[in-house]
Structure 1
C-alpha cells in the first residue's frame, strides 16, 4: 500500500491505520478499478473515496440522495481544510453556478451532487470542464429495481459514465442482497465484477426480539437495565414527543427528534446527545444518517420497520466501538397486522396516484408540456386541503411517481440562510464609507465567515445578533437591505419540501405506472414486510444468523448473545454440544417420526443432555408431538 494513502489519513483524519476493508478498497480504486464496497453503517465508507481522491489530481464527483448527509460531509471536509461543495435542488440557480465555477477553476476537491442534477442541461454543459478523478456513488442500492429504495434518477449515472469513460467508479452501500449486488454492477456498467464485502456479522451486538403488549413498560425496564447512550426509534413525529415525555417523567434524560424540527433545534439536540448531556434520543428514521457516535449501547425499535435492510442499518448504530451493545425490537400481535396494512397504505390505487399527479400540476399552475427541471416549494398540508387528499396518500403517491420518473420529492428540506458578496475591494470600501448604517453588518459577516467573495456561506442570524448585541430582526433587515442594494446575495432560511419535475407535465391519460414500478414493487414490499414478520416471529433461529442469511451470508455460526442463543444456553449446554445433538435429531426425524424414548436410545449422546435439547426444540416449536405420541421435525 503506497505510503501516500496513510499520509493522507494521518494528515486529515489523524488516524495511524485504516479500518478492516478500507485499505483494499482504496487500493482497488487507486489502481483505477470499478469497485463495489459493501460496508455496514459506521464502517467508514466516506474514507474509501476521500483518501484516493485526495491522492490524485482532479476532483471527486460524489452522487448521493441524502441532502442532510451531503451537507454534513461538505462541512466536515471544509473543517479539515479540504475544498468541497454540494449541488442539489434546494439551491438557487446562482448558487449552483458558483459551485460549478469553483469546481472548474477554484480547486474544489469534492463535488457532491444529488442524482436528479445529473440530467440537467447545466450539469451536462459543465461536465466536460470538470477534471474528474473518481465517481463515487453512495447509497448505490438506489440504482437497483430490487433495492429497497430504488430511485430512477440513479439510472442517469450510467449515461454520465459514458461521458467520462476512463474514470473509475466506487459504488458504496451498507445493505444489499446478492441480487442487488449483481444488479448494481450491471447498472453502473462495471468493466468486470469487483466486490469487497465486510462481513455483516456484528459479534458485539446482541439482537433481541421482545414480545410484549405493554411496550412502554418494557422500554422503561430495558433502559433501566442497560446503561449508556440510547436511540429509541418510532414511526411518527407525535410518538417522538410522547415517548420522550414518558422517559423524562421517569427521570430518564431524553429528547425527541424528527425531520420537521428547525435546523438549529436539530443541531442542538444532536450535540447534546453526542456529548452525553442527553442519554436517549427518541426519533423517527430521520435521525442517524451521518451521525458517528461509537458508544451507543442500545437501539430500541418501538414499531416494526418496513424492511430488514432498514432495520439492519438502524440497529447497526449501536456498538460501533466494538463493545457490547443491544438492538431490541419490541413486538406485539398488532405489529403483524400493521405491517400487512402498511402495504396497502404504501401503494395507493393507480387512479389515485394519477389524480395526485394531475392535482399537483394544477396546484403549481403548470401547463401540460411545461415544467421540465422546474423546482417548486411544496406545502403538503395546503395541497391536501385544496384537493381533499390525506397526507399519507399524497406522500406515498409522490414516492411512486418518483420511481416512475415523473418527478423527485425531497422531504422537509431545511436550508440555512446563505450569503455571498457581489462587490469587493475598493467598491466595497466606498460603499461602507457612504453607508455607515450598513457598515456593521458588512463587518460582522467578514469577521465571522471566510470565503464570502468566492462562495456562499451558511449563516446564522441568531448567532450574528448575539455577537453584535442586537436582535435577529435587525440583522435580518440589515442583510436584506444589503441584498436589495446588490452588495450581497442573501438567501433567507427556507424550510420546505421540494418537488422537482424530471419531465414536462403530461396529460393525465398518458401517465403510466409500469409493472416494475407498481405491481412488482408492491410484491417486493410485501416480501420485505414478510421477512420482518418472519424475523420477529422466529423463536428458534439465532437472530444474527437470520439477518446474515437474508443478506446472502449463509455460512455463519450462532452469535451466542441474542435472545435465542441465550435461551439455548439456559439448557446448561455449550453451543457446540447443543448444535451436534440438534443436527442429529433433525437427521433422524427427517427420515421418520419416532417416540422420544426411541430417539434418545438411538442418539450417541448423554441421555440428560439429549432430553434438554429435545425439551428446548419442543418449547420453541422446532419439533412437535403427533396424536400417537411420536416426535416430528416441523
Structure 2
C-alpha cells in the first residue's frame, strides 16, 4: 500500500482515492506545478492534505472563502491534525500569535486569505517555515476571465521568489479553457500541467421545467422525490418563505443563509446532514465544504447568473455516484430579470465614484490615508445613511475590488475570543490581590484550555449558566479583566470587512479601466446568455450545453434530460436531428408549404412531420396563418 493510501485510510477512513486524486498527488510529489480541475464534490482538499501529511513541513493553503477555511481547519483539528487560519476577521494580536505558531509550532496547515500573502509580517515569518506545498484553492479567482476574480490572488505569485523550489497545486471546480490557461500563466507554472476529470456526470439527470406557478411544482417535485435535497433561491427572504410553505405541506424543511449566526448555521447543517431535516432551502451560501454524498436532488427556483454557479450548485447532487436530479424551475420573468442583471451589476462610473467617496467618508479616512486598514462594514447602515440601494453598493464595491482599491470579505460570524496576556505566576498574584475576580478566573480556566498560548473561542452564555449569573455580567467580568491587561478579550462580531489596499484618493482620480468595466460587462453578458441558453433552449441536450461551455466539445447526448427525452420520442439521433434542422433552416429562408418540403428533404413523411411539429413546439418554426412554414430568425 502506498504512503498516500495509508494516510487516506488513517485520517479519512477511505480504502481508495476518488478518480484523479492520486494522480494529482503523484504529480505534485514529482515536483510539478499542477492544476487539478475536478467537479464539485470530487474531493479537491484531500489532494493537498494527504500530500502534505506525507512530507515534513507545513502546507500553505490560500482560499478566499473564510467560512470554508474555518470549516476545514476545524475538520482537520477533529482528526488530530494541527491546522490554523489567518484571515481578515482577526485582530493584529491574533494574527501575530498565529504567524508565530505557524513558524515555531508543529503545524501542518496554514490557511490564508489572499490579501495576507503580500504582508511584510507574513514574508518575515515565512523564512522560519519549512513549506512543503503551496495550495491555491478556488484557483479561478486569479484569472480576470474567471467568474469570481480577486486581484489579491495575483500576489500569490510573489511566493515564487520566496519559495522557488516549492511546487504549486492549483485547484478549481469551474474553469473554461481560457481560464485554465490563464491560471497557469498567472501562477508562473514552470510547465503547463493540467489534470482534468470530465465534467460529465453519468448519474445526474438535468431537467428544466418552465412553470409560472413555481411553488406548486416545487411541492409536487419534493413530494415525489426520495431522499434529501437542496432548494436554491436568490434571496434570504425566500429561504424562510419557501421552507415555511414546505413545512405547512408536511415536508421536513429548514432554511439557511449567511445572515444567520454561526451556531444556527451549524445546527441547521447538522440536522440536514443527519437526515433530521430532509430539505434545506438556501441561498448560494450553502454547500461550500459540506460533505454529504447522498443528496438525491438539487432544485433551483430560477437560474443563477452563470453556468459556473449552476454547475457547482447542481453538482452537489449525487456525489455517491447513485442516480440524482438537478432541476431548474424557470419562468419568463426569470429571463427578463437575468437580462436586467447586467446593467444592475455595472452601475455608471459616476455612481461608482460616489460610492467610493461615501465609503471613505463613512470610515473617516483622510486623503492619502487608509492603506492596509481592515474595517468592519455594516452595509445596511452604510446604504441607509447615504440613501443607496444595497445591490448598487455591492456592485460598485465589486468593481472597485477588481481595480485593486479594496477587498470586501464575506460576512463573518466571529465568536468571542480570549487570550491570557500574563503568565501563570503573574495571574496568581492578580488573583490574590483581586479576590472578586478569583472565582470567575477559575471558571474560565476550568472551561477552556490553551488560553495562555492561543486565542480561544468562548461562549458567554455557557459561562453564565455555569456561574449562575447573567450573560451581561460575564461580559462585564471579561471587559474588566481586559482593561486590567490580564486577558485580551475580543467580543463576538458579525460583519463583513472592507480592506483598503490603497490610500484614499480624490474620486475624480479613481481609475475604472476598460478591462475591468467594459470587457467584464461584455463577459458577464456572455455568461448570462449562456445561462439563458441552458434555461430556455429546447433543442440541445442539457448536459452537452454545460460540457461544451467548459470546453468539452466532443461530448455526447446524455439521453435522459428533458430535451433528450423529447428527442428520443422522435427516434432520431442528435446528428440526424441537427442535419434535418440545418436543411429546414436553409429551405425556410423563404416561407413555403409543407408539401413543397417533402420533395426537397430526403426523409419519410411521417418522420418529417414529427420533426417539424417538434420544432414548432420548441419555437424554431412558425406555422403561419396562410398555412406556410417559416424559420424563426434570431438575433
Shift of the 607–390 alpha-carbon distance from structure 1 to 2, 3 Å rule, reads closer
2:573 corresponds to which residue?
A: 578
1:246 corresponds to which residue?
A: 245
1:497 corresponds to which residue?
A: 496
Separation in 2, partners of 1:588, 1:360: 58
1:515 paired with 2:514, answer yes
Counterparts of residues 407-418 of structure 1 (less than 5 Å): 407-418=406-417
1:297 corresponds to which residue?
A: 296
2:309 corresponds to which residue?
A: 310
2:591 corresponds to which residue?
A: none
2:618 corresponds to which residue?
A: 620
1:257 corresponds to which residue?
A: 256
Shift of the 303–590 alpha-carbon distance from structure 1 to 2, 3 Å rule, reads closer
Separation in 1, partners of 2:228, 2:269: 12
* More deviation, 433-442/370-379: 433-442
Task: Tell me by how many angstroms 1:426 deviates.
Answer: 3.5
2:101 corresponds to which residue?
A: 102
Shift of the 629–114 alpha-carbon distance from structure 1 to 2, 3 Å rule, reads same
Counterparts of residues 416-435 of structure 1 (less than 5 Å): 416-432=415-431, 434-435=433-434
Counterparts of residues 360-509 of structure 1 (less than 5 Å): 360-432=359-431, 434-509=433-508
| Secondary structure, counterpart of 1:278 in structure 2 | coil
Task: Tell me by how many angstroms 1:119 deviates.
Answer: 2.0
Q: Show structure 1 runs of 5+ residues with no match.
A: none
Separation in 2, partners of 1:564, 1:440: 70
2:131 corresponds to which residue?
A: 132
Q: Is the 8 A contact 1:596 1:630 kept in 2?
A: no
Separation in 2, partners of 1:177, 1:347: 23
| Secondary structure, counterpart of 2:70 in structure 1 | helix
2:526 corresponds to which residue?
A: 527
Shift of the 443–42 alpha-carbon distance from structure 1 to 2, 3 Å rule, reads farther
Q: Give CA-to-partner distance per residue, 1:141-164, whole Å, 9 cap, x none.
A: 111111111111111111222221
Q: Give CA-to-partner distance per residue, 1:34-90, whole Å, 9 cap, x none.
A: 000111111111011111111111111111110000000111111111111111111
Q: Is the 8 A contact 1:37 1:197 kept in 2?
A: yes
| Secondary structure, counterpart of 2:229 in structure 1 | strand
RMSD between superposed Cα atoms in Å: 2.4
Q: Give CA-to-partner distance per residue, 1:72-127, whole Å, 9 cap, x none.
A: 01111111111111111110000000000001100121111111112222222222
Q: Is the 8 A contact 2:228 2:296 kept in 1?
A: yes
Q: Show structure 2 runs of 5+ residues with no match.
A: 589-594
2:82 corresponds to which residue?
A: 83
Shift of the 199–137 alpha-carbon distance from structure 1 to 2, 3 Å rule, reads same
Separation in 1, partners of 2:522, 2:85: 36
Separation in 1, partners of 2:99, 2:350: 41
Shift of the 633–578 alpha-carbon distance from structure 1 to 2, 3 Å rule, reads farther
2:215 corresponds to which residue?
A: 216
Task: Tell me by how many angstroms 1:557 deviates.
Answer: 1.4
1:548 paired with 2:547, answer yes
Separation in 2, partners of 1:562, 1:437: 70
1:32 corresponds to which residue?
A: 31
Separation in 1, partners of 2:397, 2:404: 10
When the two structures are superposed, what TM-score results if normalisation uses the length of structure 2? 0.93
Separation in 2, partners of 1:99, 1:221: 51
Q: Give CA-to-partner distance per residue, 1:376-405, whole Å, 9 cap, x none.
A: 111222222332222221111111111110
Q: Is the 8 A contact 1:586 1:633 kept in 2?
A: no
When the two structures are superposed, what TM-score results if normalisation uses the length of structure 1? 0.93
Task: Tell me by how many angstroms 1:411 deviates.
Answer: 3.3
Task: Tell me by how many angstroms 1:465 deviates.
Answer: 3.5
Task: Tell me by how many angstroms 1:447 deviates.
Answer: 3.8
1:338 paired with 2:333, answer no
Shift of the 301–587 alpha-carbon distance from structure 1 to 2, 3 Å rule, reads closer
Q: Is the 8 A contact 1:595 1:630 kept in 2?
A: no
Task: Tell me by how many angstroms 1:223 deviates.
Answer: 1.1
1:183 corresponds to which residue?
A: 182
Shift of the 250–116 alpha-carbon distance from structure 1 to 2, 3 Å rule, reads same
Q: Is the 8 A contact 2:65 2:410 kept in 1?
A: no
1:93 paired with 2:98, answer no
1:326 corresponds to which residue?
A: 325
| Secondary structure, counterpart of 1:367 in structure 2 | coil
Q: Is the 8 A contact 1:295 1:321 kept in 2?
A: yes
2:283 corresponds to which residue?
A: 284
Q: What number of residue pairs does the alignment pair up? A: 626
